[in-house]
Amino acid sequence: MQVIRHAAISGLALALFAGSANAASLYTLVDLGDLAGGSDSSAALSINDAGTVVGWGRSAAGQRAVMWKDGQILDLGFTGTSIANAINASGTVAGSFGSAGFSLPAGGSSTSIGDLPGGAVFSTATAVNGQGVVVGYSTGSAGTGATSRAVMWKDGVLTDLGSLNDGAASGGFASYANDINAAGTIVGYSSASGGQHAFVWQNGVMSDLGVLDGTTTSRANAINASGTIVGASGSFAAIWQDGQISQIASVAGATGAATAYDINDAGWVVGQVRVEGGNQAFLWRADSGMVLLSTLLGEEYAGWTVTDARSINNQGWIAATASFNGVSHAVLLQAVPEPESWALLVAGIAVIGAFARRRLPA
């Protein structure tokens, strides 16, 4: 099994880290709050390059799709339970309300993506690219096992993307689309021979991305502009580059599963890993390895634990969820200073973690 760790780091990185890590945060944390009258809980699920965040919050009426912009939280106005899963560069939001997926352009009105013919009335929109093409899943007809099917909504038409198992005599025909990039390449996961497998869909063809050695399942959660894909295989965070799958090496002290949820165009990855005490969010870079985001916060954020990270933009800003005194809120993590000037500091943390692992007794 190929495992991606990190490149060797110069002594300069360690010197910078030693002198600066306790002086200032590498990330600032902005508590995005919740809707008035709710149960004081919210989650951030997507962020665009303008720094606009979407997700969900709770009002007195229940869970609502929300947007955080310019320091304000906005209920997107859907009736019943709703969630905002994604936002593109122009501000178009994709999500679901009740049993329908939606696309909501900035300043416009929402449109349901509909559902597949012959199936139950159900769909969910999980992602939207810069051209406004939406992907997600919808319940298929009896001929496909009346199960969820990966779909693409483009120019008002909902298309069934199929499954890796279509045409097989058994094994199920479910599939789910999780992301789409500007080129229209779609990733997700599907029923397959031997278990659930990650897929990439391109030019009408769905291809199996395979699994890590020693595992039987995988799922693809995100794809960036260059086609690099991240997700999980078995209990390991995984990355696919040029069609090859590799494990993303976990942090020292990890006690359970890790999943990569998003990747930006620079190749920075965010996700979640199980450590002693519970789940924590991580940031991974090829040159520094996996680091818990909570460790990149300064002393002024003592008591905060970043528990989940679902989205990272091209400025390195992260849409995440964090807890403080038992309350879980959507948060925005902003890199300070700019990513180029603090990358060596992150690398220093990774080196110290690697050194600690080597010093642990057998």
The domain segmentation of the chain, as residue ranges, is: 3-359
Give residue-wise pLDDT tens across range 216-247.
999 999 999 999 999 999 999 999 999 899 99
Predicted local distance difference test score (pLDDT) of residue 291:
96
For residues 316 and 271, give the distance between their C-alpha atoms in angstroms, rounded to a whole number: 14
> Residue 360: what pLDDT?
44
pLDDT of residue 12: 35
pLDDT (tens digit, 9 = 90+) per residue, 243-277? 899 999 999 989 999 999 999 999 999 999 999 99
Q: Return the SS3 of 124.
A: strand
Q: What's the whole-number mean pLDDT along residues 333-351? A: 64
Q: Say what the pLDDT of residue 236 is.
A: 98
How much is the mean pLDDT over the chain?
88
> To the nearest whole percent, how much of the chain has pLDDT over 90?
75
Domain 3-359, classified CATH 2.130.10.150, yes or no: yes
The one-letter code for the residue type at 128 is V
Angle at 260 between CA 257 and CA 261, to 5 degrees: 125
Query: CA 324 from chain center: how many Å?
Result: 22
Measured CA to CA in angstroms, residue 219 lies from 46, 190, 283, 319 at distances of: 19, 8, 19, 21
Tell me the per-residue pLDDT of 139-198, one tens digit each, with 9 for 90 and over.
866 555 568 999 999 999 999 999 999 877 666 889 999 999 999 999 999 999 888 999
The whole-angstrom separation of Cα 342 and Cα 86 is 28
Please give the share of the chain, as a percent, with pLDDT higher than 70: 83
User: What pLDDT does residue 172 have?
Assistant: 80
Q: How confident is the model at residue 2 (pLDDT cuts 50, 70, 90)?
A: low
pLDDT of residue 9: 35
pLDDT at residue 355 above 80? Answer: no
Do you find a cis peptide bond into 337, omega within 30 degrees of 0? yes
Residue found by looking up tokens 């199929």 in the block: 162
